């Protein structure tokens, strides 16, 4: 199915000012019972879903990092070694803010379109020296060979939910929820709940530069979150962690007891995962909120407000 986001290709996403660009048409079909489940990039799903919908599965995450795809004539180079004032294509305020700060010798320009369109614009014209894309999309399309460089978190942290696929269903469809729940990947669910809770508390969307990095290691969930001014000169970045040890134990125990009643109240930032420890999910959500509150106490609101105003004025 085609969505508004697929059709409006001449405007930067952050300027269209609509959160559900890639999801509205699909949700309409779900609501009309024309389809029973829809698959999205989790990154495209707003942190608050319309009433009656829920994310019934978050699949194991593909590589969440951003990738550099170079113009063929720059083969072998990296962002560091590209010539002064080389133009880099990205419409993501998050990517541009981080990369402007990190690679001041480069110029960042808007580029829109789906993957094939963007690669074509890169290859067939001389407008861009490189473009920045999600590694996950390139890998899923089988175009991994185009990846010239993967950006590590110190260069560019990723977007909330990046690299994960989400299955959205009607919240009351117990059978469908049960059916798709086997697709849940517990680490990905916990990471994405924390990321989404962080973004929701900051009230961020496409139109503000917010970035994250998460990791589950030795039963600890680590969340690094950051906010940036549009040019990247101003930023706040912090890391917090919480124990999610209960997750594995509870998953084993869940087989014995009946799962939580399916009710909209067990959604956490739009995600329903009844087979996963509720306590671990609550901790992940609280981690996101706590980290956002920490950044807000240090002035994140001001940075994001200015970024939003500047972007609206562009």
- Cα separation, 77 vs 56, whole angstroms: 42
Q: Report the distance separating Cα 28 and Cα 41, nearest Å.
A: 17
Residue 6 among the catalytic residues: no
Tokens 């706590």, residue located: 290
Of 47, 278, 54, 265, the residue nearest 176 (C-alpha): 54
Out of 44, 66, 155, 173, the active site residue is 44
Residue whose tokens read 């972007």: 311
What is the C-alpha separation between 8 and 11, in angstroms, rounded?
7
Strand residues in the chain grouped as ranges (E): 38-41, 53-58, 66-70, 87-89, 107-109, 130-134, 149-150, 165-170, 210-217, 220-228, 235-243
Tell me the three state secondary structure of residue 111.
Answer: coil
Residue 36 CB burial class (10 angstroms; 0-12, 13-18, ≥19): middle
**Distance from C-alpha of 264 to C-alpha of 250, rounded to nearest angstrom:** 21
The catalytic residue positions are: 44
């Amino acid at each position: 199915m085609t969505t508004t986001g697929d059709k409006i290709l001449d405007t930067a996403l952050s300027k269209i000012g609509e959160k559900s660009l890639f999801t509205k048409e699909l949700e309409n079909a779900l609501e009309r019972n024309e389809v029973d489940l829809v698959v999205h990039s989790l990154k495209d799903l707003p942190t608050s879903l319309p009433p009656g919908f829920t994310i019934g599965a978050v699949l194991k995450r593909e590589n969440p990092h951003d990738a550099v795809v170079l113009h063929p004539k720059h083969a072998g180079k990296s962002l560091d070694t590209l010539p002064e004032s080389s133009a880099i294509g990205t419409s993501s305020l998050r990517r541009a803010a981080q990369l402007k700060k990190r690679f001041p010798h480069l110029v960042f320009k808007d580029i829109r379109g789906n993957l094939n369109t963007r690669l074509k614009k890169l290859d067939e014209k001389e407008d861009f020296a490189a473009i920045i894309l999600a590694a996950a999309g390139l890998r899923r399309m089988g175009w991994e060979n185009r990846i010239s460089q993967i950006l590590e978190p110190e260069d560019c942290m990723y977007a909330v939910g990046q690299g994960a696929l989400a299955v959205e269903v009607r919240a009351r469809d117990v059978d469908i929820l049960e059916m798709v729940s086997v697709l849940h990947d517990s680490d990905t669910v916990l990471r994405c709940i924390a990321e989404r809770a962080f973004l929701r508390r900051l009230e961020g969307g496409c139109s503000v530069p917010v970035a994250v990095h998460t990791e589950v290691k030795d039963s600890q969930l680590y969340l690094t979150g950051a906010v940036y001014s549009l040019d990247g000169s101003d930023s706040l970045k912090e890391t917090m962690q919480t124990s999610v040890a209960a997750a594995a134990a509870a998953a084993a125990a869940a087989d014995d007891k009946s799962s939580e009643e399916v009710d909209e109240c067990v959604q956490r930032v739009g995600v329903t995962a009844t087979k996963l420890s509720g306590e671990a999910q609550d901790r992940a959500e609280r981690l996101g909120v706590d980290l956002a509150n920490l950044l807000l106490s240090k002035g994140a609101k001001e940075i994001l407000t200015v970024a939003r105003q500047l972007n609206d004025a562009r």
